Amino acid sequence: MQKENTNNSKDNGLVATWSDTKNDSSDEYVDECTHVMAFAALTDKVIVESASDSEDSFDDEVPKKLTLQEAYDKLCTEFIKFEKTSHLCRKELNEVKTEKADLLVKIDETTRLVETLVVENTSLEEKVKNLEGFVTKCFLIFNVDEVKNFAANNLLLVGD
């Protein structure tokens, strides 16, 4: 792997390439984004070669490759589990967003209903105050029996 300097004057970044040869033609640099899956593996098994083991070097390579393959397989398995979990979390997040939008609509409707009820309640309170004032005046002018008869006879008119 080789590091190349980019021609970007604002920052001096490095680009990693897969070739072992130096390529000075930076005009061919394509700034594209691709999705690449990369894994890093650490193994607990360490293989040490000594000079006396040179004839057994092939035997040492096989366990090393198997160990790396096992680590790679484990990483792939974990990646698949994380991808499934990520998919489920995104699905649940979308459901929660939908539920939130529905609740916001309900809150808006409820707020408008409360405002309407407050206006209606204020109007009714004003009507009650007017009727109480009317009844008080009636008590002062007429005797109690006349007021009760008048109220009983005109109860339907009071509701309007």
Distance CA 101, CA 99 (A): 5
- pTM > 0.85: no
| 45 pLDDT more than 80 | no
Our count of domains for the chain comes to 1
Distance CA 130, CA 149 (A): 19
| 96 pLDDT more than 90 | yes
Q: Which domain holds residue 129?
A: 2-49+58-158
- DSSP secondary structure letter of residue 17: E
Tokens of 115: 């405002």
Distance CA 141, CA 42 (A): 102
Distance CA 10, CA 2 (A): 22
Mean per-residue pLDDT over the chain, rounded: 72
What's the pLDDT tens digit per position in 105-132? Answer: 999 999 999 999 999 999 999 998 888 8
